[in-house]
Amino acid sequence: MEKNKIGPGRIILYVVLLILAFVMLMPFAWMLSASLKLNKDVFTFPIEWIPKAPRWQNYQDIWTVIPLSKFILNTVKLTVIVTLLQLLTSSFAAYAFAKLDFKGKNALFLGYIGTIAVPWQAYMVPQFIMMRNVFHLNDTHLAIICLQAFSAFGVFLMRQFYSDIPDELCEAARIDGMNEYQIWWDIMLPLSKPALSTLTIFTFVNTWNDFLGPLIYLTTTEKKTIQIGLRMFISQYSTEYGLIMAASVIVLIPVLAVFLSLQKYFVQGIATSGLKG
Amino acid sequence: MSIENARIVTPKIRKRRNNLIAYSFIAPNFIGFAIFTLVPIVMAVTLSFMKWNGSGVQAPRFVGLDNYTHLLRDGRFIEAFFNTIVYTAATVPLTMIFALLLAVILNQKIFARNFFRTISFFPYVASLVAVAAVWNALFSPEKGPVNSVLRALGVANPPGWAVDPNWAMVTLILFSVWKNMGYYMVMYLAGLQGISPELYEAASLDGANAAQKFRYVTIPQLGATNFLVLVMLTIQCFKVYDIVLMITNAGPGTKTLVLVFHIYNVAFKQWDLGYASAISMVLFLMVMIVTVIQFRGEKKTA
C-alpha cells in the first residue's frame, strides 16, 4: 500500500533524479552561458552562469566569420529532399510488401533484411569509389541524397505499420473500383500518419546530424553541411570559445525544435523498435 | 459492366498484371537501394581480395588472401581492434545501467515527469559536433570547469582527460554513455510499461519490498528488452567513429584508435582500398556474429 508520502526512498529517488538531470542539462546550460561571453571570460571560476554583460555580438559575428547561412541552407536542402524521398519511396515499397502478392516477394524482402545487419561503415569505401568513378558525384549534394534516401529501415518501419492495417479495408476499396495507387494514396497514407511522423523525425535527425557521409563526400567549403562546416570552424579557430558556443547553439535549435514538436512519435518509434525488434 | 465483362481476363494475365503493379511500387526504392547499397556491399567483399588505389587508370589486381594475412601483421589494426573491444565492453554495461536507472525513476509517479523525460533525451538528439565542442571545453585539462571544480575540491593533479594517455579512453566512454543513454532509456521505459501491474500487486501481497520487487519482478520481466538493448548497443559501439574523431581524434598517439577510424585512414588517406575492405570485413563479421546471436535469442524467447 504505497502512498505518495515523503519517505526516505522518495528522497533518495529525487536526489538521484536531480543529479542525473544536472548531468544531462549542465553542458547545454554552459554552452548557452559561454556563447554570451568574451573568450577571456569563458573559463572564469567559479562559473558565472549568467554573464553580467551578455555579449550578443557573438551571435552576430558568427554569420560573417564562417558562411553559416550557406551551411544551414545546404543542410536544410539535403534534409528536406532526403526526408521526402525516404517517406515517398519507403511507404510506396512497403505497401507492396504488406498488401500485395507477387512473384519474388520473399526473395526481395530478404534482400532488404539481409543488409540491415551490414554496417554502412563496412561498405562506405566502395560506395564512395563507385560514386566518384562511375557517377562522378563526389563533392555533390546529389551523392549525399542517393546515399541516404533509400534506406531499408524506412521500408521496414512502414511495412510493419501497414501489416497492422486490416486487409479487408483494401479489399473493400478494390470492390469499389479503386486501383492500387488510389488505395495507397487515399487510404493507406492518411492512416499511416503516426508511422510517417516517426520516419520523418528519424530521417530528419539523422540527416541533419550526419557527419561521416558529408565528411567523405563534400570537399568544397560552399557545399558543406552545418556539421562539417562547424567542425571546420572549430579546428580553425579552436580558441574562439564564445563564437564556437554561439554557433553550436544555433546548430542545436532546429533539431531540438523538431524533436520537441514531434517527441511523441519519436518515443513511439523507439518503443516499437524495442518491442518488435 | 457488360463491356468490362466482354474482355476476357484470364487468371494468368491478371497475375502478370498484379506482379507488374507490385513491382512498380517497389521499384523507386529498390533501384536506389540496389545501386547504392547492394552493389557496394558486393564490391566490398570483392575488393578485400584485391590491391587497388581507386584510380581509373590502374586496374584492381587480384592478390588472394594477402590483405587478410596483412591484418595479423598490422600493429595498428590489432590496436584498433582491441580498443574497439575495450570501448564496447565498458560502454555497453555502463549505458545499460544508467538507462535502466533513469527509466525506473521516470516510470514512477514523480513531479514534472514529462519534463525530466524530455531533457534526458536532449543529448541523444543534439548535434554531436556541438555537444562535443562543449565537452572538450568542459574537460579542458588546464582551464576547464571540471578540473577547476576538482582542484577546488582538493584534487592536486586532476586527469588530463582527452589528451591524457591513461584517461582518453575513459573520457570517450563517459561521453558516449552521456550521449546515448536517453535513447535506451526510452526502450526500457517501453519495456517497464509492458509489465503487468498485477505482478507487482501479487508481490506486494507476498510481502516483497521495493528492492525485492525490482529483483524478482522487474529484472526477469525486462529480459527481452535487456537483450535487445544489449545487441543494439554492442553493434553501435563496434561502429563508433565520429565520437572518437571529435573527442580524442584517436589519440593521444593511437590510444583510442578504433576500427572505423582505421578503415577511414587506410582508405581515404593511404588509398589502400583492398586492405581497407579487408578491415571492413572484420567489422562486418563482428556485427554479423552479434546479429546471429540475436536471431537465436529471439527464436528462444518466441
The distance in angstroms from the start CA to the end CA of chain A is 36
Cell numbers describing residue A26: 549542465
Mean pLDDT, to the nearest integer, of A252-256?
A: 86
Q: For residues A266 and A259, what is the distance between their CA atoms, to the nearest angstrom? A: 8
Contact A152, A116 (CB under 8 A): yes
Q: Are residues A48 and A74 in the same domain?
A: no
User: Chain B residue closest to A156 (CA)?
Assistant: B29
Phi-psi region of B270 (alpha: psi -120 to 50; beta: other; left: phi over 0): alpha
Query: Which pLDDT band, with edges at 50, 70 and 90, does A238 fall under?
Result: confident
Run of H or E including B50? strand B50-51
Q: Are residues A87 and A218 in the same domain?
A: yes
Distance from CA of A82 to the nearest CA of B (A): 12
**Which amino acid appears at position A90 of this protein?**
S
Q: Do A121 and B280 touch (CB under 8 A)?
A: yes
Q: Do B22 and A263 touch (CB under 8 A)?
A: no
Residue B4 has pLDDT above 90, yes or no: no
Q: Are residues A200 and A108 in the same domain?
A: yes
pLDDT, residue A82, reads 95
For residue A46, the SS3 value is coil
Among candidate residues B138, B154, B139, B143, the one with its CA nearest the CA of residue A45: B143
Query: What's the domain count of chain A?
Result: 2
Q: Are residues A87 and A192 in the same domain?
A: yes
pLDDT single digits (tens) A209-225: 899 999 999 999 999 99
Q: Other C-beta atoms within 10 Å of A77: how many?
A: 14
pLDDT, residue A277, reads 35
For A201-214, b where at least 16 C-beta lie within 10 A, e where not — what string?
bbbbbbbbbbbbbb
pLDDT single digits (tens) A107-118: 888 888 788 778
Q: Which residues is B51 bridged to in the sheet?
A: B61
Mean pLDDT, to the nearest integer, of A192-214?
A: 87
Residue A141 lies in a domain: yes
Q: Where are the alpha helices (DSSP H) in chain B?
A: 2-6, 11-33, 39-47, 66-73, 75-106, 113-119, 122-125, 128-138, 145-152, 168-193, 197-205, 210-213, 219-221, 223-238, 242-247, 259-268, 273-301
Q: For residues B139 and B147, what is the distance between their CA atoms, to the nearest angstrom? A: 7
pLDDT single digits (tens) A66-111: 898 999 999 999 999 999 999 999 999 999 999 998 998 988 888 8
Cell numbers describing residue A145: 541524397
Q: How far is CA A167 from CA A39, A163, A178, in A?
A: 63, 8, 14
Q: Are residues A48 and A91 in the same domain?
A: no
Contact A134, A146 (CB under 8 A): no
Q: For residues B258 and B169, what is the distance between their CA atoms, to the nearest angstrom? A: 11
Cell numbers describing residue B223: 529480459
Residue A268 has pLDDT above 80, yes or no: no
For residue B40, the SS3 value is helix
pLDDT, residue A264, reads 81
Q: For residues A242 and A219, what is the distance between their CA atoms, to the nearest angstrom? A: 26
With beta carbons under 8 A apart, name residues in chain B contacting A234. 129, 133
Average pLDDT, chain B: 90
Mean pLDDT, to the nearest integer, of B258-272?
A: 95
Q: Are residues A93 and A198 in the same domain?
A: yes
Among candidate residues B119, B102, B185, B130, the one with its CA nearest the CA of residue A32: B130
What number does CATH give the domain B67-301?
A: 1.10.3720.10
Q: Are residues A115 and A28 in the same domain?
A: no
**A11 in contact with B, Cβ within 8 Å:** no
pLDDT, residue A13, reads 86
For A164-186, b where at least 16 C-beta lie within 10 A, e where not — what string?
eeeeeebeebeeeebebeebbee
Query: Which pLDDT band, with edges at 50, 70 and 90, does B174 fall under?
Result: very high
Query: Which pLDDT band, with edges at 50, 70 and 90, does A273 fall under?
Result: low
Q: Do B239 and A119 touch (CB under 8 A)?
A: yes
Percent of chain A at pLDDT above 70? Answer: 96
Q: Are residues A49 and A76 in the same domain?
A: no
The A residues from 172 to 191 touching B (CB cutoff 8 Å) are: 180, 184
pLDDT, residue B278, reads 96
Torsion angle of the four alpha carbons A94, A98, A100, A104, in this order, in degrees rounded to the nearest 10: 80
Residue A266 has pLDDT above 80, yes or no: no
Query: Which pLDDT band, with edges at 50, 70 and 90, does A2 fall under?
Result: very low
Residue A273 lies in a domain: no
With beta carbons under 8 A apart, name residues in chain A contacting B239. 119-121
Cell numbers describing residue A218: 563534400
For B142-159, b where at least 16 C-beta lie within 10 A, e where not — what string?
eebbbbbeeeeeeeeebb
pLDDT, residue B2, reads 47
Among candidate residues A68, A80, A70, the one with its CA nearest the CA of residue A251: A68
> Given B130, B225, B288, which is nearest A274 (Cβ)?
B225
Residue A250 lies in a domain: no
Q: Are residues A218 and A99 in the same domain?
A: yes
The A residues from 48 to 87 touching B (CB cutoff 8 Å) are: none
What number is the ipTM of this complex?
0.86
Contact B260, B241 (CB under 8 A): yes
pLDDT single digits (tens) A13-55: 889 889 999 999 999 999 999 999 888 888 887 888 888 888 8
Residue A42 lies in a domain: yes
Q: Are residues A44 and A163 in the same domain?
A: no
> Given B56, B121, B134, which is nearest A31 (Cβ)?
B134
Q: Do A147 and B191 touch (CB under 8 A)?
A: no
Task: Count residue pairs from A and B with Cβ separation < 8 A.
Answer: 265
Q: Which domain holds residue A19?
A: 8-55
pLDDT single digits (tens) B145-163: 999 999 999 988 999 999 9
Distance from CA of B166 to the nearest CA of A (A): 23
Q: Which residues is B62 bridged to in the sheet?
A: B50
Q: Do B144 and A121 touch (CB under 8 A)?
A: no
Residue A32 lies in a domain: yes
Q: For residues A140 and A183, what is the distance between their CA atoms, to the nearest angstrom? A: 37
**A233 in contact with B, Cβ within 8 Å:** no
What would the DSSP string read from start to end of B149-169?
HHHHTT-SS---GGGSTTTHH
Q: For residues A234 and A66, what is the distance between their CA atoms, to the nearest angstrom? A: 11
Q: Are residues A176 and A100 in the same domain?
A: yes
User: Chain A residue closest to B260 (CA)?
Assistant: A121
Query: Which part of chain B has CATH 1.10.3720.10?
Result: 67-301
Domain of A122, CATH number, reads 1.10.3720.10
Q: Are residues A39 and A117 in the same domain?
A: no
With beta carbons under 8 A apart, name residues in chain A contacting B147. none
> Given A47, A97, A244, which is nearest B133 (Cβ)?
A244
**B23 in contact with A, Cβ within 8 Å:** yes
pLDDT single digits (tens) B64-102: 999 999 999 999 999 999 999 999 999 999 999 999 999
Average pLDDT, chain A: 87
Percent of chain A at pLDDT above 90? Answer: 42
Residue A25 lies in a domain: yes
Distance from CA of A243 to the nearest CA of B (A): 11
